[in-house]
Amino acid sequence: MIKKLLVSILLIVCFISTYATHLVGGELFYDNLGGGNYSITLKLYRDCNCTGCAEFAALEYISIYNTSGLLVTQVGLPKPSTIPVLSSIITNPCLVATDVCVEQATYTGNATLPPIAGGYTLMYQRCCRNSSVNNIVQDQGATYVAHIPGSDVVANGANSSPRFKNFPPIFICNNDPLIFDHSATDPDGNTLRYSLTAPYDGADATCPDPSPNSSGGGCQTYPYAYSPIVYIGGYDEFNPMNSQTGQIHIDSITGVLTVTPDQQGQFVVGVKVDEYKNGVLVSTVFRDFQFNVVQCNIPIANLPATSFDPTTGIGIYKVECAGNDVTFNPSVYNPPPTSVPVTVSWDFGVQSISSDTSTQLNPTYTYPDTGTYLVTLVVRKEINGSGCYDTARAFVKVYPVLTPDFDFALNAKDTCLGLPTTLQDASISTSGNIISWQWDFGDGTSSSQQNPVKNYSTSGSFNITLTVRNVKGCVGTKTSTTSVFPKPDAAFSASAVCINQPTNFLNGSSISAGSIISNTWNFNGEGSATTQSPTFTFLSTGTKTVGLIVTSDRGCLDTAISNVMVNPLPIVNASPDTVNLCPEKTAQLTASGGVTYIWFPSTGLDDATSATPILTTGTSSVNYIVEVTDANGCINKDSIYAAVFPLPTIDAGPDTSVCLSPGSFRDSVMLIATGGVTYVWSPPTGLSNATIFNPVSRPLANITYNVVGTDANGCNNSDSVRVYFLDPNINLIVERDKEVCEGEEVAITVVDQGKSAYLWTPATSLSNATIFNPLFTPNTTTDYVLRVTNYCYTKTDTITISVLDLPIVDAGIDTSIYRDLPVTLNGNTNGVNYYWYPGDNVVSPFTLTTDAYPEKSQWYYLYAFNSAGCSAVDSMYVTVVPFTQLLLPTGFSPNGDGINDVFKLVRHLNIRELKWFRIFNRWGEMVFETNNVNIGWDGTFKGEKQSLGTYAWTIRAITKDGNELNESGNVTIVR
């Protein structure tokens, strides 16, 4: 709210007496007198008419420190002869005032401080602040400081500090907007910047005046530390009044302080002013003061200002640049009693006429011409026959027309990232020249040029806002959106680049938004392509320049250029050119000229990726190709032909024999092998020469010779021939007699006589009577005769096969049982050893009479053995009937005598799983539960014996057939 220094409010500085105690505020500043001499001023503010409050001291001391915190000197400032009261008591029919007021004591004195690096800090400390303050912790003191710059900042340290022009009103009305000129002046004309700050704490009640030369005698050791005051919850230096309707604010440039309080109380506020010389901070001056917010029972008029003119103390309500019509929307407060209305009267400030008035609350007035007008709003309320007034004044400036506008150069509203956006101001002002242009480019950057050029660092959509101001104070804004499209990022890579071989160029281009729609390739001027990832073959070696231009769907381009080296192909040598091998033989293959090798086909190679694989041939010839890659990734090939010769067909001749019969005696025979050029016979036993094709054999028993023949290619194969030793004196049947169990099959060991005629008699129970080794299955003891006839002799031999009796065995008759009940196996035999099979559910499988517990119907087998080792078996079938049964008693006596002490399942049949066995008392409380069929209830619950009586039980179980079984009943406890 801008008023002529708050016509009715600023006259009121007295406030409710309960607020008054001690210090109200203070500040410290200095003037440079030249030659290292300074005049120091300390202003202190305290409650006047304060009962029990300390008077202003006759001498106040300023302590002066260097940058190391060491005390340099102290300056005593004498008490001024006159201590003015800032304001007087007034009478207002709308406000009940008291005689409480504020006194100002201005102490001054001189000090000589030669220039030093780092300068000096001036400090004054005292106790105590008002205990009635609402926003800080009580019992805190005050410290006021100022800084004299050092010779390293200002030449000779010569500087005078800023000082505030006005002391704030200590009495303001709740809900009444305040705009106060809190600016300072600087004797040196340096730049000043304002901000809110936390006042400093200082001395306390135990040491109210800590300076060494004070009346307190220097009760505190120097340097005396100080720190910001401590705020209570919800308050801080930037929000010292906790106002929700209008936070306190000070303009950093003008020093104008604004606030609209929304609660009553006393609030300590701190302000500091920083002094800058050529951009360097040279000094800081602090001030703190109290705002006393009360509920004023007076009407309040407020014309909210958009800016403030410190020279007049009047704000600017509006600058109308669109036309001559101005609509006024004031803020008017009607104090209690609200039943009495307020009246308003307007004077719109047109000097040449008297009709520029209105009594409407929100009037609209049409000004006759352009110009600056001082508007006055008076709010009046009649209380107790007297009129209470409040007046608000503000300037209205009428200067139409300002039309902000701008264009994009060459109509290039949208552009690609990396290209400039050129802006051209097209604003029109009819009431004065445009004096400022402020551009907001929508990316956190700005410009004050009239026609700026902007280069965006990122792509996206940006709102460009131009704010123009003319000499009359008119401000206009124009916003337009520009799109900065992302530029594609051209990139590619290439596979190995080799002469006369296709090279794959992989397009790695990307774009953050949109798409790439074209690709243009240039291969060193030797060719081009427009596909995304082309293939190109260079016909000569050397360095080639490859370029790729990519274009996005928005027309944005990017180029990637890279030099590639076209390498020669490796010189590959595979040896030998041809390798001759026999089937299933090995050979060493060798290749050179590269770093990696791959052989095709891989069949027969121990490692198809080795430069020196081992080849094991099959039966067919193969042409092997080796693909060799050098360090540059270039590939060349060579081949090896593996010729595979067929194996020779070696024939050792037909089986033959020798004869020792006197009539046709021939003790040797010539063997003849064919199909090779060299031969080796084995074993050499009985041979005249084991390395010729036709050795003579003179054996002493049947023998088989193996011959290995090798052909002209070095390939070998083998065959065998058997030579039978025919001797009339040999025993044809090796065994003399043999025993066999009845029904058992047996073989007889007979000497093989080759292509002789064999005849066994009798032929009964033989598998074949005309071979030398039939199988015999006699029913009774039998003499078998073998007759052998060949060109050398005819001879017979005999063997007796005795048939042994089997043991007698009887497993018993088939039977049936209920599941989970035993079956008794009762066998009988004359054997000496016996057992039951299967034996997994048999109690004693090696006894004739025993119990078994089958889960399902099955056969049981009884095996018996006699002393001759012959065996017999008999069987019986047991049918298992799935009968389900649960058997429990109806009572039990848990008295500890060991008889019937536990209630449990006495017997159960066909139960696979017990889900639960539960017992309940008469009140339905479960006293026992188990899922183990072998566990029962001992008649207790929670360690306590249960009373006599009847209890209910329930059982849920799963049978071995998978069915669910539910049973229930009662049991009685007796003792």
Average pLDDT over residues 703-723: 95
Q: Tell me the C-alpha distance between 936 and 918, whole Å.
A: 10
pLDDT of res. 543: 94
Q: pLDDT digits over 496-528, tens only?
A: 899 999 999 999 999 998 999 999 999 999 999
Average pLDDT over residues 635-641: 95
pLDDT of res. 390: 84
Backbone torsions φ then ψ of 429, nearest 5 degrees: -130, 120
pLDDT of res. 708: 97
pLDDT of res. 589: 95
Backbone torsions φ then ψ of 398, nearest 5 degrees: -115, 105
Q: Which residues pair with 588 in a beta bridge?
A: 614
What is the separation, in whole angstroms, between the first and last Cα of the chain? 101
- Given a cut of 70, whether residue 220 has pLDDT beyond it is no
- Given a cut of 70, whether residue 213 has pLDDT beyond it is no
Q: Are 581 and 645 in contact (CB under 8 A)?
A: yes
Fold observed for domain 300-398 = Immunoglobulin-like (2.60.40)
Instruction: Output the CA angle 148-151-153, nearest 5 degrees.
Output: 80
Q: pLDDT digits over 884-913, tens only?
A: 888 889 999 999 888 999 999 988 888 889
pLDDT of res. 234: 86
Give the residue from 293, 56, 266, 26 showing the smallest Cα distance to 167.
26
Q: Which residue has the higher pLDDT, 51 or 513?
A: 513
pLDDT of res. 89: 37
- Given a cut of 60, whether residue 5 has pLDDT beyond it is no
Fold observed for domain 809-881 = Immunoglobulin-like (2.60.40)
Q: Options 1.20.200.10, 1.10.645.10, 1.10.40.50, 2.60.40.10; which CATH number does 656-726 get?
A: 2.60.40.10
Q: Are 154 and 277 in contact (CB under 8 A)?
A: yes
Q: Are 196 and 238 in contact (CB under 8 A)?
A: yes
Average pLDDT over residues 26-31: 96
pLDDT of res. 103: 86
Fold observed for domain 885-973 = Immunoglobulin-like (2.60.40)
Average pLDDT over residues 833-859: 95
Q: pLDDT digits over 747-757, tens only?
A: 999 998 888 99
Contacts of 847 (CB under 8 A, 6+ apart): none
pLDDT of res. 19: 31
pLDDT of res. 304: 84
pLDDT of res. 217: 56
Q: Which residue has the higher pLDDT, 481 or 226?
A: 481
Q: Tell me the C-alpha distance between 590 and 626, whole Å.
A: 10
Q: Tell me the C-alpha distance between 855 and 853, whole Å.
A: 7
Q: pLDDT digits over 332-369, tens only?
A: 888 878 888 999 999 999 998 999 999 999 999 999 99
Q: pLDDT digits over 244-276, tens only?
A: 766 799 999 999 898 888 888 889 999 999 999
Average pLDDT over residues 388-392: 84
Instruction: Indicate the range of 133-147, 229-243, 287-301, 336-350 predicted with least confidence.
Output: 287-301
Average pLDDT, the chain: 89
Fold observed for domain 737-804 = Immunoglobulin-like (2.60.40)
For residue 197, give the H/E element and its range: strand 191-197
DSSP for 509-522, written as a single string: -B-SSS-EEEEEEE
Which letter, b or e, does each residue of 629-653 get, where b requires 16 or more Cβ atoms within 10 Å of its Cβ?
A: bbebbbbbebebebebbebbebbbb
CATH number of the structural domain 573-644: 2.60.40.10
- Given a cut of 70, whether residue 90 has pLDDT beyond it is no
For residue 185, give the H/E element and its range: strand 184-185
CATH number of the structural domain 402-485: 2.60.40.10
- Given a cut of 70, whether residue 854 has pLDDT beyond it is yes
Q: Are 831 and 866 in contact (CB under 8 A)?
A: yes
What tokens were used for 760?
A: 């066994």
- Given a cut of 70, whether residue 570 has pLDDT beyond it is yes
Between the alpha carbon of residue 302 and those of residues 203, 244, 388, 390, the distances in Å are: 41, 18, 15, 9
Confidence label for 6 from pLDDT (cuts 50, 70 and 90): very low
Average pLDDT over residues 141-147: 93
Domain with CATH 2.60.40.10 in the chain: 300-398, 402-485, 492-566, 573-644, 656-726, 737-804, 809-881
What one-character DSSP code corresponds to residue 335? P
Instruction: Indicate the range of 172-176, 667-671, 709-713, 803-807 predicted with least confidence.
Output: 172-176
Between the alpha carbon of residue 37 and those of residues 62, 157, 671, 834, 915, the distances in Å are: 15, 11, 143, 134, 105
pLDDT of res. 11: 30
- Given a cut of 50, whether residue 784 has pLDDT beyond it is yes
What tokens were used for 567?
A: 């390498």
Distance of CA 137 to the CA centre of its chain: 46
Fold observed for domain 492-566 = Immunoglobulin-like (2.60.40)
